[in-house]
A and B are shown apart, each in its own frame.
Chain A
């Protein structure tokens, strides 16, 4: 049954105009990724409202294409001008930029395109092969488990919020609190609306994401002048040789890709973390660790393999439980919901929307082929993207954000106020190091957590044991949550003992 749906999804992705949206997503993603300060989540957030006229599958393949393309695009600025287009490409600067200075920019860009495409292809193929198991696994989850999974996602704040844990928790809980505005799930109580009818539906979390990712980022960029690229650079080197080099390091590609996939599947962790871990692992495993940071090709391969591997990983919790594995998948969840596709069992049910899930996976595979073709074909022209003046970008992004937010609910002013308000809050959160991703986790998971908590409490009336310990699956999740919450508190003590 699943295989038939898979074949149906293949036909869907290669039909017109879906295949066009796959290609458009990759190209737009590469552009957003290559422009320092923008990136996947911003690009997806401002284009999300524009997908309203599209069908569900077309919208989702466009969004996932932007995500995947931006992962590769981030390496262009990282290699050419030492300014990672996205934080996911930060580790690429360590060896990619020194290669540029040695006159091997084209080789480095070729390494990046090939390793990104290979790692993406590998992890998505694994995801497709594992999907029958994943389907059975997702269908095991009832309301108590879904509530606990949402709490597990939130508890990840303590792990992923680098910096002060308390700041991360405040951001996360405030995000949760915002989701309580409007009609309460199940009971129907109207909360914090001041009698203003448009607020009954609550604060749109897509508007919140546009504010946090697009407006806040533009406020931060507002003091930049001119293009990001201040100096001249020449794109020279061996394109084909670079592509071949990737195939000479299969272990690095495979290991980094799966590090990316594993870390990506942890809610909130994302490609920034996997990027550093894969790079560190490549240094550790090398016979010549001192050559890293001076243009070692393995450094570029590890970094770029891991960030594209993250895409496949972060999609798992997003479509299975509605829990974002990264900022970009938070927007993807918004896209799914906006098009009536609720993350969870329906997306794994052959009789419901399994075709959308498979179409998403297949479009990722096709997207990786496009990354390879575009990456290798346009290597020498890629630098032009980094020379675009930020003063051209800022007003257009702001305009798209305003119009997009206003379009979300066909002209609701609350959404415009939300993007401006959360844009300002998000800007100061960045300045003072409060985790934006923790805030996003709260905003996305709030309604899931509250709704499933309420259902679980109703179910618990008929059980002898507390509902959250009445079956092995929920008990395991509960233990993991406790471990995660305790870990940051005991870690300094463990480190002290180790020393």
Chain B
């Protein structure tokens, strides 16, 4: 999956590098330099196992210039955690499980965005919260409470800030 992340950096950078030739010379220098560096370093990282050893080490070696003693501290943290029997939020203990949870929430976020575009964020917001709490198997009281709270927040944005979230593409097309 890290390769996909690297490609997410490299492919847009290639497009941006090439497209920059269309700009005036003063406007093309900076994007070409930055995207050129992303492409160069990204390719190095992508093919790190095929690099000669000294270069490979430079690409993959971890540095701790400030010498914060990160490793020792991490070990001490792990030891304390084992003693306490308490879970810690920023531990990615089971990458697959975390990826599953993140994938579902990520998909819900995309759905929330699309639905907001179609029917307006004011109406999509409680639907998103309802879907999320249903997925997480929350009690009916929690589902109702959070859904109402989310609608109240969205309504505050609509009423106080004057954000145009009351209608989306569908209402526009149907002339509602």
Q: Which residues of A contact B (CB under 8 A)?
A: 36-37, 50, 52-53, 81-83, 87, 90-91, 93-94, 97-98, 101, 158-167, 169-170, 173-174, 176-177, 180, 184, 186-187, 189, 191-192, 215, 218-225, 228-231, 263, 269, 273, 276-277, 279-280, 293, 389-392, 394-396, 398-400, 402-403, 406-407, 410-411, 413, 416-417, 420, 423-425, 427-429, 431-432, 434, 442, 446, 449-450, 453-454, 457, 487-489, 491-492
* B53: chain A residues within 8 A (beta carbon): none
Q: Which residues of B (119-147) have their CB < 8 Å from a CB of A?
A: 121, 125, 128-129, 132-133, 136, 138, 142, 146
Evaluate contact between B38 and A173: CB separation under 8 angstroms.
Answer: yes
Given contacts A162-B62, A164-B62, A396-B146, contact A222 B101 (CB under 8 A): yes
* 23 residue pairs from A and B, CB less than 8 Å apart: A36-B90, A83-B86, A164-B60, A165-B61, A166-B45, A170-B45, A173-B35, A173-B38, A174-B9, A177-B12, A187-B24, A220-B98, A223-B100, A229-B86, A391-B142, A394-B132, A396-B153, A398-B128, A399-B128, A402-B113, A406-B121, A428-B1, A432-B1
In whole Å, how far is B92's beta carbon from the nearest beta carbon of chain A?
6
Chain A proximity mask over B64-75: 1 for CB below 8 Å, otherwise 0: 111011100100
Evaluate contact between B20 and A191: CB separation under 8 angstroms.
Answer: yes
Q: Which residues of B contact A (CB under 8 A)?
A: 1-2, 4-6, 8-9, 12-13, 16, 19-20, 23-24, 26-27, 30-31, 34-35, 37-38, 41-42, 44-45, 58-66, 68-70, 73, 76-77, 80-81, 84-90, 92, 94-95, 97-102, 104-106, 109-110, 112-113, 116-117, 121, 125, 128-129, 132-133, 136, 138, 142, 146, 149-150, 153-154, 157, 160-161, 163-165
Q: How far apart sit A341 and B144, CA to CA, in the bound complex (Å)?
A: 41
Given contacts A420-B109, A423-B109, A428-B5, contact A184 B102 (CB under 8 A): no
* A50: chain B residues within 8 A (beta carbon): 161
* B154: chain A residues within 8 A (beta carbon): 399, 403
Grouping DSSP codes into helix (H, G, I), strand (E, B) and loop, the B interface class, with mixed when no group exceeds half, is helix
Other A-B contacts than A170-B42, A223-B101, A406-B157, 19 sampled, CB-CB below 8 A, are A36-B88, A37-B89, A90-B73, A91-B73, A158-B65, A160-B66, A162-B70, A170-B6, A177-B38, A180-B30, A223-B97, A228-B89, A230-B85, A389-B142, A398-B128, A399-B128, A402-B121, A427-B102, A429-B5
* B125: chain A residues within 8 A (beta carbon): 399, 402-403
In whole Å, how far is B66's beta carbon from the nearest beta carbon of chain A?
6
- In the complex, what residue of chain A is closest to B102 when comparing beta carbons? A219
**A177 CB contact (under 8 Å) in B16, B77, B84, B163:** B16
Evaluate contact between A228 and B132: CB separation under 8 angstroms.
Answer: no
Grouping DSSP codes into helix (H, G, I), strand (E, B) and loop, the A interface class, with mixed when no group exceeds half, is helix
* B80: chain A residues within 8 A (beta carbon): 82, 93-94, 97-98, 293
Evaluate contact between B34 and A180: CB separation under 8 angstroms.
Answer: yes
Most buried by B among A50, A91, A403, A406: A403
Evaluate contact between B77 and A191: CB separation under 8 angstroms.
Answer: no
* A81: chain B residues within 8 A (beta carbon): 84, 86
Evaluate contact between A407 and B161: CB separation under 8 angstroms.
Answer: yes
- In the complex, what residue of chain A is closest to B30 when comparing beta carbons? A450
* A219: chain B residues within 8 A (beta carbon): 101-102, 105-106
